[in-house]
C-alpha cells in the first residue's frame, strides 16, 4: 500500500519552515500532497494560484510531492485522496496544544488516519506565514523566511 500523506495548511505564503518539514518527511512517505485548505470565511492574503505556483516551484525536483487545494474537512479530503497520514509541524507548546485537539478529533472522525508530527528545526521556530505577511506588508525583506527562488509580487 502506498504511504500517502497530506500536509494541510494555508501556505500564505509557503515558508522555509514548511519547506523544511516537507523535505525531512520525504523518507517517511511514498507521496506527499501539500494541500492548501480554502476557508470560505477567511480570505487569504496571497492568491491561491500564486501559492500553488510557489509550492510547485519549490518542489519541482521532487516528483513524489504534489500540490492541491481543498475545501471542507481535512479528513474528508484525505479519504478522497486515499491518504492515511496527515503531516504537521510542531514549533512551540502552543502548536502542540492546537495540534493535539485537531489530531485527536481527526482520529475520532477517521480512526484509520494517523497524524505524524515533525519538530521544527530550531532555526525555523520563529517563522510563520503571518509574520512573513506582516513584514512584507510593511516593505521588509522576507527573502530569508521564504524558500530560495520565490519572488513575491
Cell matching residue 5: 500523506
Chain residue at closest Cβ approach to ligand ADP: 17
**18 catalytically annotated:** yes
Half-sphere exposure of 49 (CA within 13 A, CB side): 1
**Least distance CB 63 / ligand ADP (angstroms):** 22
SS3 for 139-150 is CCCCCCCCCCCC
**91 catalytically annotated:** yes
Half-sphere exposure of 133 (CA within 13 A, CB side): 13
**138 catalytically annotated:** no
**Least distance CB 91 / ligand ADP (angstroms):** 5
Binding site for ligand ADP (CB under 6 A): 9-11, 15, 17-18, 21, 88-89, 91, 95, 120, 124, 127-130
Q: Indicate the residue among 110 and 128 with the shorter CB distance to ligand ADP.
A: 128
**42 catalytically annotated:** yes
> Exposed e or buried b for every residue in 77-108, given b needs 16+ CB within 10 A?
bbeebebbbbbbbbbeeebeeebeeebeebee
Decide the pairing of beta strands 31-37 and 114-119: unpaired
**Least distance CB 7 / ligand ADP (angstroms):** 7
18, 25, 51, 88: the active-site residue: 18
**Least distance CB 51 / ligand ADP (angstroms):** 10
The Cα-based distances of 53 to 34, 56, 100 in angstroms read 12, 5, 31
16, 51, 88, 91: the active-site residue: 91
Cell matching residue 40: 470560505
Q: Indicate the residue among 9 and 147 with the shorter CB distance to ligand ADP.
A: 9
Q: Indicate the residue among 1 and 115 with the shorter CB distance to ligand ADP.
A: 115
The set of catalytic residues is 18, 42, 91, 129
Amino acid at each position: 500500500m502506498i504511504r500517502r500523506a497530506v500536509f494541510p495548511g494555508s501556505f500564505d505564503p509557503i515558508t522555509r519552515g514548511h519547506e523544511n518539514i516537507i523535505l525531512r518527511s520525504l523518507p517517511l512517505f511514498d507521496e506527499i500532497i501539500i494541500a492548501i485548505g480554502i476557508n470560505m470565511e477567511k480570505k487569504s492574503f496571497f492568491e491561491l494560484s500564486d501559492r500553488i505556483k510557489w509550492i510547485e516551484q519549490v518542489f519541482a525536483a521532487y516528483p513524489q510531492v504534489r500540490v492541491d487545494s481543498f475545501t471542507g474537512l481535512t479528513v474528508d479530503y484525505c479519504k478522497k485522496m486515499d491518504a492515511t497520514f496527515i503531516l504537521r509541524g510542531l514549533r512551540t507548546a502552543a502548536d502542540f496544544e492546537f495540534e493535539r485537539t485537531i489530531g485527536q478529533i481527526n482520529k475520532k472522525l477517521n480512526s484509520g488516519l494517523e497524524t505524524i508530527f515533525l519538530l521544527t528545526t530550531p532555526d525555523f521556530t520563529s517563522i510563520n506565514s503571518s509574520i512573513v505577511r506582516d513584514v512584507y506588508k510593511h516593505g521588509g525583506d522576507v527573502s530569508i523566511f521564504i524558500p530560495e527562488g520565490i519572488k513575491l509580487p
